[in-house]
């Protein structure tokens, strides 16, 4: 996984280098060539700052009152504090401001552009002018800020960067205690990422952007050993997973870039995905899976789009995609550490095939019986497990994600969860019982039970399905419609009163309901009564001698599918009156 993150940085982040990092910067202070204050420019979209590369970073060296060079927080750079800030915090920040100014002044001796900035920082009145403008813009002390002097950003100045490299090289005081390994050349170890001899970086830079999924606002550590129980062979800190400074910076920059630009939140996790070779958005199978394409494309069937792509690859029309690979990383934060919940990689062609199979297995008749329901977005399938998406547990979402990407069977607990939700909503007139994604997930569970798929589990009602439990559900749908046709809206009808018991013990319930159906048939016109008698007879012939006395969990799932699919079939027929809208509108 770390190797692929380094490869991503090598390909997409050519500026990745120790001593520099990307930061989300909120403000830019503009100065004239002579140091006059001009303006404060907001960066970003109003909700987030702008990601700027090549920001000097003091990783491992900013303890003891030190500050980052050139790019810093508003509090440290210009001494802007919250009203009634704790005096101790003010004193600490002022020490950092002094160091920040000292670094700028020292660099200004070599770079004239920074000499101008140093003069501003040393001028109490001009610094107060900058603070006042930031206050008007409602800048927060914790916001990051940069400078632009004479229309140029010194962060991009090659002379400034060269000065920072030289200062960092001479002033860097990273120490690593390797126990009995000694010092000098003996302190080197083999880097896990490059295979070269390096001096291991004691602590790694933090991964940012996980605060919405349990991470810390200041960032979380991917590789760290801060307790004795995590160490071995007398090694301290990250020497237990030795990596050189350059390799570490690349995996950190790569992951930070992916989190910012290529992630999607699923429950309480972030999912990042990318490809070995960049592909256009219209060829991204995971975009179809997640529903990130336009609404028009969604309604045109994501499955058809993925199938066209798969056919093009297999027919040799898209040879450039044949050797491509995909990578998917599921992350969250926990107590200051990055939690890797899952890591997947594989051939691009396999991914396209699995996504196509996902949509094929989820194909289900629409609740009104008129054609198939639209291909569900991934989060709609996740939402089928719960009453509200906020109740979705991260492990359930992560499991479904892996099932979709790798073509795996759907775990029975997830089917049981969807089935329980279906039953609960069926009894609640305030809830639309027939959630398409929920019924599709239950169907896909049975399709994937058999290697190669169960061909008897079709999107619409299958009169030749071998399972009696399935036809028991279909029979209940016919009986419910018959009652509706004969009596109209009777409030709590057959479904509300008998579905729970019929789906668990059909042999004890359906016989009585079928016997009572004679009373309903007597109230219908002869033609309609004959039609219902035919439908009941067709299903009864599939049950053999009798309906099963007791159904296990899988039998109850088949019962639910049979009920839903038969009801959809009845709704599409002009020869019958359907059940109430509350049962699936």
For the stretch 498-518, pLDDT in tens is 888 999 999 888 888 888 888
Angle at 351 between CA 346 and CA 352, to 5 degrees: 150
pLDDT of amino acid 488: 74
Average pLDDT over residues 111-140: 94
pLDDT of amino acid 45: 87
CA–CA separation, 174 vs 201, rounded Å?
8
| pLDDT tens string 243-287 | 999 999 999 999 999 999 899 999 889 999 999 999 988 889 998
Gyration radius of the chain over CA positions: 32
Give the residue, 300 or 253, on which the prediction is more confident: 253
Q: In terms of Cα–Cα distance, which of 402, 314, 393 is closest to 354?
A: 402
Give the residue, 220 or 228, on which the prediction is more confident: 220
Q: Which two tokens stand for residue 414?
A: 């997830």
| pLDDT tens string 396-451 | 999 999 999 999 999 999 999 999 999 988 877 555 568 899 999 999 999 999 88
pLDDT band at 330 (very low <50, low <70, confident <90, very high): very high
Give the residue, 50 or 233, on which the prediction is more confident: 50
Q: Is 341 helix (H, G, I), strand (E, B) or coil?
A: strand
pLDDT of 36 over the 90 cut: yes
Q: In terms of Cα–Cα distance, which of 537, 515, 534 is closest to 526?
A: 534
Average pLDDT over residues 307-334: 90
pLDDT of amino acid 300: 47
pLDDT of amino acid 15: 80
Q: In terms of Cα–Cα distance, which of 237, 34, 220, 12 is closest to 120?
A: 34
- Decide if 507 contacts 550 (C-beta within 8 A): yes
pLDDT of amino acid 277: 92
pLDDT of amino acid 154: 95
CA–CA separation, 212 vs 333, rounded Å?
9
| pLDDT tens string 84-121 | 889 999 999 999 999 999 999 999 999 999 999 999 99
Phi and psi, residue 40, nearest 5°: -120, 120
| pLDDT tens string 174-190 | 443 434 443 344 578 99
Q: Is 262 helix (H, G, I), strand (E, B) or coil?
A: coil
Average pLDDT of the residues of the chain: 87
pLDDT of amino acid 580: 39
Percent of the chain with pLDDT over 90: 56
Q: In terms of Cα–Cα distance, which of 191, 301, 184 is closest to 238?
A: 191
Give the residue, 289 or 300, on which the prediction is more confident: 289
For 556, counting Cβ atoms within 10 Å of its Cβ (0-12 exposed, 13-18 middle, 19+ buried), the class is buried
CA–CA separation, 100 vs 111, rounded Å?
16
Average pLDDT over residues 440-463: 93
CA–CA separation, 58 vs 205, rounded Å?
10
> Of how many residues is the chain composed?
585
How far is CA 157 from its chain centroid?
37
Give the residue, 580 or 332, on which the prediction is more confident: 332
Average pLDDT over residues 116-138: 94
Dihedral sign (CA 104, 109, 111, 115): positive
Percent of the chain with pLDDT over 70: 91
Show Cβ contacts of residue 47 under 8 Å, excluding neighbours closer than 6 positions. none
Give the residue, 581 or 115, on which the prediction is more confident: 115
pLDDT band at 319 (very low <50, low <70, confident <90, very high): confident
Q: In terms of Cα–Cα distance, which of 221, 220, 240 is closest to 230?
A: 240
């Amino acid at each position: 996984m770390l190797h692929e993150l380094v490869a991503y940085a090598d390909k997409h982040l050519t500026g990745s280098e120790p001593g520099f990092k990307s930061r989300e910067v909120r403000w830019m202070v503009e100065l004239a060539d002579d140091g006059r204050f001009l303006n404060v420019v907001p960066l970003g979209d109003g909700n987030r700052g702008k990601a700027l590369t090549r920001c000097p970073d003091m990783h491992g060296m900013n303890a003891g009152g030190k500050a980052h060079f050139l790019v810093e927080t508003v509090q440290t750079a210009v001494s802007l504090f919250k009203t009634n800030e704790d005096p101790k915090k003010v004193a600490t920040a002022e020490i950092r401001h002094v160091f920040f100014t000292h670094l700028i002044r020292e660099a200004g001796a070599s770079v004239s552009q920074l000499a101008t900035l140093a003069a501003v920082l040393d001028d109490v009145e001009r610094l107060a002018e900058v603070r006042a403008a930031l206050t008007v813009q409602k800048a927060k002390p914790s916001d990051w800020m940069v400078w632009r002097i004479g229309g140029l950003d010194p962060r991009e100045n090659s002379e400034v960067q060269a000065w920072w490299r030289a200062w960092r090289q001479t002033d860097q005081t990273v120490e690593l205690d390797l126990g009995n390994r000694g010092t000098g050349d003996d302190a080197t170890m083999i880097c896990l990422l490059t295979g070269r001899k390096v001096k291991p970086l004691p602590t790694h830079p933090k991964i940012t952007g996980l605060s919405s999924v349990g991470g810390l606002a200041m960032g979380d550590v991917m590789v760290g050993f801060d307790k004795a129980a995590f160490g071995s062979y007398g090694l301290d800190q990250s020497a237990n997973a030795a990596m050189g400074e350059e390799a570490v910076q690349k995996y950190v920059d790569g992951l930070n870039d992916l989190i910012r630009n290529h992630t999607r939140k699923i429950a309480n996790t972030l999912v990042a995905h990318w490809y070995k070779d960049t592909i256009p958005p219209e060829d991204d199978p995971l975009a179809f899976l997640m529903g990130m394409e336009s609404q028009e494309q969604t309604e045109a069937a994501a499955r058809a789009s993925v199938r066209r792509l798969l056919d093009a690859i297999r027919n040799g029309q898209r040879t450039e995609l044949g050797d491509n690979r995909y990578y998917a990383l599921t992350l969250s934060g926990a107590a200051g550490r990055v939690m890797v919940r899952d890591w997947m990689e594989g051939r691009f062609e396999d991914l396209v095939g699995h996504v196509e199979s996902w949509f094929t297995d989820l194909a289900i008749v629409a609740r009104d019986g008129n054609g198939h329901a639209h291909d569900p977005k991934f989060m709609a399938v996740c939402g089928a497990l719960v009453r509200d998406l906020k109740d979705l547990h991260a492990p359930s979402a992560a499991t479904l994600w892996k099932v979709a990407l790798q073509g795996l069977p759907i775990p029975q607990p997830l089917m049981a969860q969807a089935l329980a939700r279906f039953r609960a909503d069926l009894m609640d007139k305030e809830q639309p019982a027939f959630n398409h994604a929920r019924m599709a997930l239950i169907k896909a569970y049975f399709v994937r039970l058999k290697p190669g798929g169960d061909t008897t589990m079709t999107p619409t009602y299958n009169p030749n399905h071998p399972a009696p439990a399935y036809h028991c559900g279909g029979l209940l749908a016919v009986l419910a419609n018959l009652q509706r046709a004969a009596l109209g809206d009777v409030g709590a009808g057959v479904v509300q009163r008998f579905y729970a018991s019929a789906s668990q013990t059909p042999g004890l319930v359906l016989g009585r309901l079928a016997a009572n159906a004679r009373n309903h048939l007597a109230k219908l016109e002869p033609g309609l009564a004959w039609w219902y008698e035919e439908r009941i007879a067709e299903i009864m012939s599939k049950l053999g001698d009798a309906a099963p006395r007791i159904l296990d969990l899988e039998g109850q799932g088949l019962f639910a599918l049979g009920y839903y699919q038969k009801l959809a079939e009845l709704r599409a027929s002009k020869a019958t009156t359907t059940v109430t809208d509350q049962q699936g509108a």
